[in-house]
Structure 1
């Protein structure tokens, strides 16, 4: 029998009735929406040490310090709030007089929808807490984007999220996947998006935040998540805002010399065409959820193998649910008006020109093209050598359906589709599926078709079905 989900009031009451949970609430920008649940539930005197809203910026600065560029809705501000409030509890309450107490600090810094409804609102929400009085503090921090078009509704959603976070931290810390799912208890994923989350501290020693990011996309809580080569979850708005974006999509199972050649030669052309500096660009390697699910349920070990290889090469990774390319470009356009470049192979471009992909769009393929071939967007096309007839396919000789030929010519003539001409012809017969089969079947020769560091990593860690002991037996 499945236990029914508790309402925010029931969750708040459960926390209030636990004599050992005790802490503060600091909420900025959208009212004290979380703490009111605890006040209304009853028994709050045993839980709430203090509730405050340092709404005025000058007063907030006096408490937590000033922020760079006067930005208050930031992760840095939130973490300052959490740590400052916990330090006050520790300073003002004696552990000897409060045995067994597990202290916490909940905080949010949020801006809701503006009067003109041109900005829907977003914010940071977090909790710093103990699972044992002798344990150091752990933290859960996440970023939200509101989708509702009413301030009151956004405030109510924020209050529910806060209650779910506090209840989840004290009840599901040993199961962070369940904790993430519980954030949406009594809340629709249509109302709010969580596009970045971070777990830290002793309660989450063995948590890989990249897997937690994957849960957000997998559960429909966001469309895409990004993490850097160090494995840190990044806020999309922070790294994409006003940047020139260059992206490469692939399975990267494993990364091959073709992937690297396509990326490097495409990026070289993009940098020249966009006339941007290194600081003005962002490069992303994209893996879609549909690709991760290609063989059934998502294999988390396989997922980590792919992103670990990309991280080894120093690349930033985006995981998305964008099966169609136009959705990826539309996503980038929400953050930047700069140039956008996508490197892809011939087969991928043929998929872009396949009308079957757009049956669910009211405007069909024309609607998709309107979003995909938007101003400032260019496809950098990598050639493909047909393994059967050995013909090299480029933008000049690939065949699209008859009714799309003129449209294709239009995009090509206007240089929205350009060939990567300085590619390495020695890589033209490298096919990732063949490499994967060789690795799994313990055949030799694949090592020369992937970057040297990647080959070493696959062998050392037994990635993609590689087993060192079986390989040794093969050659003994």
Structure 2
């Protein structure tokens, strides 16, 4: 008898599914053998669960079943969806439901590439399941993207098999709790073995699910270092968004987005686009929020997170949620996907943090190792000036005071134009402080509306974001 907190093994999960007479479907696996369905065959009693298992490994044969890929990319979400479409249609065409009342059909698929021979690329893949929760209901779907971390193809195959079993089990037995499904994907696995950097839930069973929150779970649980979603809230694969792109990023709390944030982005981006081979078509702009920022007030407030994401989406920005406290880790992450130019727009206080040696005590190479990762790929910092509220002094890269031991290093990066001042800024924005605006919103004071974009102010009022209350405002103004 299992205790309430005991995790089932992959074999136990497969057997429990096999013993359920109403779960019935197909397995199609390409690129790493038939590792998932193997558990179901070995568990026993599989004859009423497995309709078909296929591994159309040869590209020509696979094309004859699922069609050709115009871009010649076979480890892709497009390919996975074609596989799910084809297999579900087959099972619907060939199985007469009148002979099997109560049956819930499913199709599980994966298309992956494991580590290459020279071990220079560890491999990745797409994994998904399309399934019914009730026989008369339309299909639900869970799709995820993985990156392998292990250095052996056989180990990666075994990891993929366990992940597949966990996904199928979670889809049927934890269907009403997407967060539990996500957590269960790592049963008998660890983040040292693989990373999940994108997941999407869809279908009638998940109309209430906001996939941005599911992305947040991945970062929060250490399953991924970063996730990306578009202005419309759709989760996207970071590699697809950033591949071979020039990348321009702005980090902040965006609680709420202020005119300073927008000016810092726009003016820095304008300078970035003056760089050789940088234009609108080959540049990706990201607004980044770190996990530590989301936790600034304690536990992560999901509604607060969604409010920030909605505001950025309203302004048309792509959002990156990351677990990167240090800027060098952010740049190192971008370098996974692109060898093009990287630009980061930031304020004076952020730059001072970068030139603080205590910031890098966790690195064996200290600040020099960090700077080696930070300033690679022609990375430039576009520095937005700051007015010290106490001294009223304007601070920029020319009059910043860094630690004495780092002065020469600072001068080197300045001289080589790796740190450049944003000069075409709006003077009237320099005394806008996000924390002050947030306090004004919560206290019901007026005047904050002029310090943020109009569409953001309207959204805050309409939806009562960031502590805004019409009742509080009326009471304050009486």
Could you tell me which residue of structure 1 aligns to residue 230 of structure 2? 228
**Displacement of 1:173 after TM fit?**
1.3
Counterpart mapping for 1:8-407 below 5 A: 8-407=10-409
Counterpart mapping for 1:436-447 below 5 A: 436-447=438-449
Q: Is the 8 A contact 1:107 1:126 kept in 2?
A: yes
CA offsets per residue over residues 289-312 of structure 1, 9 Å max, x none? 000001111000000000100000
Q: Is the 8 A contact 2:26 2:53 kept in 1?
A: yes
> Match of 1:66, SS?
coil
Q: Is the 8 A contact 1:26 1:108 kept in 2?
A: yes
**Displacement of 1:2 after TM fit?**
4.3
Q: Give distance in 2, aligned partners of 1:288 and 1:69.
A: 34
RMSD: 0.8
For structure 2, the residue ranges without an aligned partner over 5 or more in a row are none
> Match of 2:299, SS?
coil
Q: Give distance in 2, aligned partners of 1:278 and 1:297.
A: 38
**Displacement of 1:344 after TM fit?**
0.1
Q: Give distance in 2, aligned partners of 1:83 and 1:210.
A: 25
**Displacement of 1:474 after TM fit?**
3.0
Q: Give distance in 2, aligned partners of 1:304 and 1:202.
A: 22
Equivalences, count: 476
Q: Give distance in 1, aligned partners of 2:66 and 2:107.
A: 14
Q: Is the 8 A contact 2:340 2:377 kept in 1?
A: no
Q: Give distance in 1, aligned partners of 2:124 and 2:457.
A: 43
Q: Is the 8 A contact 2:148 2:195 kept in 1?
A: yes
**Displacement of 1:93 after TM fit?**
0.6
Q: Is the 8 A contact 2:380 2:418 kept in 1?
A: yes
Q: Give distance in 2, aligned partners of 1:189 and 1:169.
A: 21
Q: Give distance in 1, aligned partners of 2:476 and 2:349.
A: 36
**Displacement of 1:19 after TM fit?**
0.3
Q: Is the 8 A contact 2:33 2:157 kept in 1?
A: yes
> Match of 2:274, SS?
helix
Q: Give distance in 2, aligned partners of 1:96 and 1:308.
A: 46
Could you tell me which residue of structure 1 aligns to residue 432 of structure 2? 430
**Displacement of 1:116 after TM fit?**
1.0
Q: Is the 8 A contact 1:23 1:49 kept in 2?
A: yes
> Match of 2:74, SS?
coil
User: Relative to structure 2, which stretch is displaced further, 268-277 or 172-181?
Assistant: 268-277
> Match of 1:68, SS?
coil
Say which of 2, 5, 8 aligns to 1:6: 8
Q: Give distance in 1, aligned partners of 2:111 and 2:158.
A: 15
Q: Is the 8 A contact 1:194 1:221 kept in 2?
A: yes
Q: Give distance in 1, aligned partners of 2:460 and 2:277.
A: 37
User: Relative to structure 2, which stretch is displaced further, 2-11 or 122-131?
Assistant: 2-11
Could you tell me which residue of structure 1 aligns to residue 417 of structure 2? 415
Q: Give distance in 1, aligned partners of 2:18 and 2:271.
A: 60
CA offsets per residue over residues 99-138 of structure 1, 9 Å max, x none? 0000000000011011111111100000000000011000
Give the 4+ runs in structure 1 shifted more than 2 A.
472-476
Q: Is the 8 A contact 2:112 2:123 kept in 1?
A: yes
> Match of 1:109, SS?
strand
TM-score, normalised relative to structure 1: 0.99
Q: Give distance in 2, aligned partners of 1:242 and 1:148.
A: 25
Q: Is the 8 A contact 1:274 1:339 kept in 2?
A: no
**Displacement of 1:275 after TM fit?**
3.5
TM-score, normalised relative to structure 2: 0.99
Q: Is the 8 A contact 2:443 2:473 kept in 1?
A: no
Q: Is the 8 A contact 2:105 2:132 kept in 1?
A: yes
